[in-house]
Amino acid sequence: PFVGQSQPDIVRACDLILDDLDELGIDRLFAVRDNRGPAESPAEGDAGPADAVDIVLDDVTFAYPGGPPALAGVSLSVRAGTSLGVVGPSGAGKSTLVVLVCGVRVPDSGRVLAAGRPVVAGRSRAVGLVPQDVYMLDDTVSANVAFGLEPDEDLVRDALARAQLLGFVDSLPEGTRTIVGERGTRLSGGQRQRLGIARALYRRPGILVLDEATAALDVETEAAVVESVAALAGPLTVIVIAHRL
């Protein structure tokens, strides 16, 4: 969509996309940074649906201010409990699709529906996002899974099990109370991504979106993480954004 655009226009559009992706997790980052007292756990508050939901894009068009359409007339339907892979080069509109599905932006025309209801401005609680670079607190495994919410040990362990990380965590001397280190330095790349998946699952979403979540991993680790994600389809609707399959 950037073909024929001037360099300032391209830079401005890229900055807007990055701002939107940052916004997907900024509420939790501020809560952690400011230490705002105990937040509700998913068991206590409205954390979104526990079952898979369908998602529909109906003739969706969206353009960033001053730029050409990043998406134009896009229609797709993902049935509840199935998975969808979205593959394409940089600038193809993949990240724009993410911010629309997550409710950070609304389309200029057309509709985005989750479980038959319009996704409105403000992050949809039905969607859990796993980005390429999973931000890690220099804190416990439990705190990183809950990430701004009050950790519930049973829910933390369930999320870790679904992300196929519980066996590793249980092998650590302090289990879920183990400190992961600054930027998760005590974890491997694959373990950090699995922890990111557990974080998304902790909020009990109906839709899980992985935005280039395995792009920085080696081939063997990527295959293992992809296998973990494949096992989630059924209980969840899964959308995988990637440069390649």
| 210 phi, psi to nearest 5 deg | -110, 110
Q: Dump pLDDT digits (tens) for 63-116.
A: 988 889 999 999 999 999 888 888 888 778 888 888 898 888 889 999 999 888
Distance CA 197, CA 233 (A): 13
Q: Measure Cα distances from 3 to 61, 86, 101, 187 in Å.
A: 17, 21, 25, 40
Q: Is the pLDDT of residue 60 over 50?
A: yes
Helix and strand tally (H, E) in the chain?
Answer: 7, 8
Distance CA 135, CA 145 (A): 11
Size (the chain), residues = 245
AA letter at 178: T
Tally the C-alpha atoms within 13 A of residue 84's C-alpha that lie toward its C-beta.
18
What pTM was estimated for this model as a whole?
0.75
| Whole-number pLDDT of residue 5 | 45
**CB distance 216 to 187 below 8 Å:** no
C-alpha distance across the termini of the chain, in Å = 22
